[in-house]
Chains A and B, each alone.
Chain A
Amino acid sequence: MAKKKKPIIDVDIHERATYYDLVPYLDNPWAKYITDADWTQEKHLPYPIMGIDGLDRADAKSPDGRPAGNSLSFLQEQLLDGVGHEYGILTSAMDPSPSSMHGFYGMAEALAPALNDYEIENWLDKDDRLYGSVHIAAQNPQAAVREIERVGDHPKMVQILLPIDRTPWGDPYYHPIFEAAERHNLMIAMHHNEPPSYYGNYPRYFVEWHSVMPNTHMVQISSMIFNGVFEKYPNLKLMMLEAGFIYAPALMRKMDTQYKYLRHEVPWITEMPSETMKKHVKFSTQPVDELSKEEFEQFVELMGSDEMVCFSTDYPHWDYDSPHNALPKLDKDLEDKVFAENARSFYPKLQAVGGKVPL
């Protein structure tokens, strides 16, 4: 008997632009830095993983030899059709913003628009299941706002991707970006980044780095909450990508407790942080921690809401989660929420135009 397919909205898919893919979208000298000077962004991550294709699944290179995530047709075959996605949110594999630009911010400000144009033309306009993230050079909030104004109204741009970097995102320095997000009905997302802590060193082993991803996310969430970002921008919602969700209940309880003792310092906070989180913050499942059904339900119960967790694959990376095998079999109501409905309710533009954008 044919099983009815569950709807899947995957909130973290990394399409990949090579630097050369961006050349047609760049002015000079930025284009020439790539074509003539062979510029590449300095990456920090010091460790290799054996048996994996860089940081990609070893089976995700396209048959024509292009790197994982670079070919739309192979991504369609292996992921969108192969798995049966309803929608996928693209988050790219290039981050023009973080400290890896090492002060070369002019290049970051050129790369972000190029990446957005590339994403729209080669991905969003070519598959009605794919929705996009606006990339910004966050070091310069004015430039970031200009870019959000430029592409933020594209019907398939649903969020702004904020790099996790040295300055936590609650800082008022960044607030113009949130204002712009609200103007364009865009949500915001943060993806784990290198290094794991915002102040920047690496541990000795990859396994340590990868185990403490939630630290970075906790720093960002508590910064957003206690700096009153969600009071100031009530329509803003935050998706935390790629640290899983089992740290959330601990953080919620911790912040509530601390708020009771230290409210005097943050009198602009008028409700329990956990309540704000329930309304404004969601978490991607991946890299999912191995849980039984009972354990999964317990974590959700401790969060006090079954509307905070959204499924993601992280395709094509090595720690990809399979929609069919990564999570325990959940009861239908929770399964629907985790695999699709929580994401659907998170992105207002997805609800408004979902699948109806003429290509």
Chain B
Amino acid sequence: MKTVVCKQEELEPGNMIEAKLGPIPIVVCRTLDGEFYALANKCLHQGATLSKGMICGAAAPTDTPGEYDYIKEGEILRCPWHGIEYDIKNEGRMLADPQRKLKSFNVDIEEGNVVVSR
């Protein structure tokens, strides 16, 4: 199964776009380094549409209460409802519970098109 989502330049770094791979709703995210990632567009918690959320960064785990190190800018997909954070570059894993991850799909650039397949 394969789908052409958009032209490469139509999706700017730091943005995302929703699409369908056959019947499966997906979200294609472009991180700030220009890479593309395709994930299932449905939150593992209560099923909110993730593309209605935001791409942002996150505070790194720390040993020191009160200390913040804001990292992974443009690499975190945050759910529009209860705010669960998914790490786009780390297989769509939940920051709070890395055992759990979104389904991910292959992305290839073919003749300037962003093509998702599984």
Contact = CB atoms under 8 A, between A and B. Distances in A.
Given A57-B80, A319-B82, A51 B46 contact: no
Nearest to A49: B83
Interface residues of A, number: 15
Interface stretch (A4-12, A320-328, A348-356): A320-328
Nearest to A58: B80
Contacts, number: 42
A321 B46 CA distance: 8
Contact of B83 (A59, A318, A324, A325): A318
B112 interface: no
B47 A51 contact: no
B8 to A, nearest CB: 26
Contacts of B56: 50-51
A320 B43 CA distance: 13
A250 interface: no
A266 interface: no
Contacts of A57: 48, 80-81
B78 A51 contact: yes
A126 B111 CA distance: 53
Interface of B: 45-49, 52-54, 56, 78-83
23 contacts: A50-B56, A50-B78, A50-B83, A51-B53, A51-B54, A51-B56, A51-B80, A57-B80, A57-B81, A58-B53, A58-B54, A59-B49, A318-B81, A318-B82, A318-B83, A319-B81, A320-B81, A321-B46, A322-B47, A324-B47, A325-B45, A325-B46, A325-B47
